[in-house]
Amino acid sequence: MNSLTHFEIIGLPGVGKTTLASELKDRYPRFHFRHPPDWQRFKDVPFFVKHSLSLAPSFASLIFGDQGRWLTQKEFFWMIFLNGWHSRFTRRVHDRDIVILDQGPVYMLSELILFRGRRMIDLLSGKRWEKIFKKWGQLIEGIIWLDTDDDVLAHRINTREKNHKIQGASLSRFRDMFERNRKALDQAIALFRADLPTQAVVRFDTDRLSLDEIVVKLSREFNWNETGK
């Protein structure tokens, strides 16, 4: 596969997404993280105004079609980012820069599906959103999906310092959450799939492969070397 310039790392909580992203950035000098616009930053205010106004029909459809249930702040921002964040990627700082998205469009889309279910899928399957996903599909050249066994993930979540709302839950509850999250990620990828290269999604088990083994396999898959090319 050709070298990527924009890719997203996805997976369940505790699977090692941030660890992998940090390792790639440390090992390859031309790797960079990109983060969504910040509504608290004055220079980003026009972005939020523009892309929230253009989403008014989508917001109304969700609220009135879901028995008046209002959007949470996260839902509101995720939809705005999906709607317009891709426009911020038209130019890179250097021609050979490689951009890492941790919690990028696939993550945001999967979370919206988890929050709103069938209603969100129906809305995002419309013509307007198809055009938006086409833009994202043309930009995101690869998706790295990390996963592992449910009991391993449950143990990691229960023993890590970063708090999670499900810490201490039973294994059956963990498995239910993991199943719903994996399904939402599959559904999110499906909405992008028509515009992604056929080999765009690569998967790794972070319990069976070490961090170094994953990095080596990625470097071979995507033709990276230690200059980040």
Q: pTM for this one?
A: 0.87
Which pLDDT tens digit goes with each residue over 163-206? 777 888 899 999 999 999 999 999 998 887 666 655 578 999 99
Query: Domain extents for the chain?
Result: 6-221
In terms of DSSP bridges, do strands 98-102 and 31-33 run parallel, antiparallel, or are they unpaired? parallel
Q: What is the pLDDT confidence band of residue 209, given thresholds at 50, 70 and 90?
A: very high
SS3 label, residue 54: coil
155, burial (CB in 10 Å: exposed 0-12, middle 13-18, buried 19+): middle
Mean pLDDT of 135-144: 86
Q: Which stretch of DSSP H or E encloses residue 171?
A: helix 171-193
CATH topology classification for 6-221: Rossmann fold (3.40.50)
User: Which residues, at least 6 apart from 129, have a Cβ–Cβ distance to it below 8 Å?
Assistant: 58, 123, 191
Q: What is the pLDDT confidence band of residue 4, given thresholds at 50, 70 and 90?
A: low
Amino acid at 168: G
